[in-house]
Amino acid sequence: MEELDLDWSKLASITTDGAPSMVGMSRGLIGRMNREMEERGLIAPLQVHCLIHQQALCCKVLTWDSVMKVVVSCINFIRAKGLKHRQFQEFLSEPESAHRDVLYYTEVRWLSRGRVLRRFYELLLEINAFLHSQNKTVPELIDPEWKWHLAFLTDMTEMLNSFNLQLQGQGKLICDIYSHTKAFEVKLELLLGQVKKCSFIHLPAT
C-alpha cells in the first residue's frame, strides 16, 4: 500500500486464498491489514475468498477421481523411470503422433489439469499401445464410457482454464471480473441446454 501510495481509506475488501500466511489473524496478511486499518481509525475491509480458488475447491468435490486416477497412474508409469520414458518418446516418433511426450500432472497447480488431460486425450491410442507393449493392461483406456468421461472432463477443464485466465493478471478491475463472470454463467447455461438436447457442438473432445 505504501509503496504504491494507495489511500487506506479506500480499501473496501481483500481477496485471498485460504493459506495461513494470508488469512492468519496474527501474522497473516488479513490480520496485519486489519490492525493497520484499526490504528488508522478505519473500518476493517471485507474478506473475500478468491473466486479461482473457490472454483478449484468445488472441482475437487466433483466425482472425477475415476478419470484422474487412471490418467495420473498411466503418466507416472511412463515418466517415473528414465528408461520407460525414453522408450515412450521413441515409440511416439514411429507413428504420426501430434506430440512427443505426455505432461506431468501437478495437483497443486490445478490449472495444469486442462493441458495434461488434453495431451493425454490426444495421445490415448499411442499410450494404450505403449502400455500394451510393456505388458501393462489398463482396461479403462478401451472402455467407451470411461473415454467419454475423459473427453468431457478435458473439455470442461479447458473451458474453466480459459475463464480463470480472464480473471488473472495485473490491472484487472472489479467491473471486468464481474463482466467475465456473468458471461461465463451465461455460457454455462447455454451449454447445459445443449447437453440436455444431446448437442455437444461446443465440446470438441466430447
- Pick the range with the lowest mean pLDDT from 1-10, 111-120, 151-160: 111-120
Q: Give Cα 105 distance to the centre of its chain.
A: 11
Per-residue cell: 205 = 473432445
Residue 28, SS3 per DSSP: coil
State mean pLDDT over 151-165.
86
The label of the residue with cell 496474527 reads 26
pLDDT tens, position by position, 91-126:
566 555 545 555 555 444 555 677 888 888 988 988
8 contacts 42 by C-beta, under 8 angstroms? yes
Taking the whole predicted model, whether its pTM rises above 0.85 is answered as no
Q: What is the DSSP string of 77-117?
A: HHHSSHHHHHHHHHHHHTTT-S-S-PPPP-SSSTTHHHHHH
Answer yes or no: is pLDDT of 51 > 90. Answer: no
Residue 48, SS3 per DSSP: strand
Cα separation, 35 vs 100, in Å, equals 53
pLDDT attached to residue 23: 74
Domain ranges, ordered by start, for the chain = 8-49, 57-166
More confident residue, 175 or 48: 175
pLDDT attached to residue 179: 92
